[in-house]
Structure 1
């Protein structure tokens, strides 16, 4: 390899290693998405919304996704699956005690929230059909046990994006 190509390969390898070391993730929560699901905030229903959704620009055929799911309702719900036309599969990963594992469902407590961030819970987009570029949006459908589906537009940010600084 020569000069620029070698530098790009080293950067891609370093980023891939960093993603694996942080539980397949990148950085915490970022720009918002105004998606909502459920009906009202009554005591017996889930009222879901999504904020801070983003995907760091992928450097391989895999990508991570981050967001926050809030439940203003009086009933718990569960995120049972995630789909996107950009990936062969999207899996939900939970991190507890520093250990990451794929889960079939993730609880969303009543009057609570679930945060997907670097080193914690996150989405893994596998078998990408194409690599989305910074500035594009990826459409993701969240499937819930009680509330049905919720479609979210996830902006693609720089691979080095850090929501704490906005870069």
Structure 2
């Protein structure tokens, strides 16, 4: 009788181990925890430029998905070039990409990460909008209509 109890326990343990291994293998192949990035943009704005050829832009990219992504490019019909900048310790540095964390956000705000619109094709005025296209490493591009606010605009969202 002892031998059959051991055999039954061994069979149950083996079956449980096989089920666990199968579950882990399925999770590694793209289970619900590995959902694609779900990107959207909120709180975008450009302060009315004080210069005829350069402006700054701010926005928040929200990722509600379970996969991180990376902002790799920004273009606009309003400027010859749009560059991304990181500000650390008061020093501004141009970068080629920014991570967009899973279940997180990437914030561009005054005094921090920001966009620079260089070689403006015309000087945007308060009340107008400009169009930008955000390119990502994994996700489809997003088109954003960015409103032009007063040069002294200070949003309630803190950026």
| Superposition RMSD in Å | 1.7
Aligned mate of 2:55, from 52, 63, 67: 63
Deviations 1:76-118 (A, max 9, x none): 0000010001100000111223322110010000001011000
TM-score after normalising by structure 2: 0.75
Aligned mate of 1:136, from 120, 128, 132: 128
Matches within 5 A, 1:153-164: 153-164=145-156
1:45 aligned onto 2:36: yes
Matches within 5 A, 1:119-134: 119-134=111-126
Partner of 1:35: none
Matches within 5 A, 1:33-112: 43-60=34-51, 61-112=53-104
- With 99-108 and 157-166 compared, the bigger mean Cα shift is at 157-166
Deviations 1:133-153 (A, max 9, x none): 100110010000100210000
Gaps of 5+ in 2: 1-31
CA offset at residue 156 of structure 1? 0.2
Partner of 1:148: 140
The alignment covers a number of residue pairs equal to 126
Gaps of 5+ in 1: 1-40
CA gap 1:105/1:133 in 2 versus in 1, 3 angstroms = same
Does the 8 A contact of 1:42 with 1:73 survive in 2?
A: no
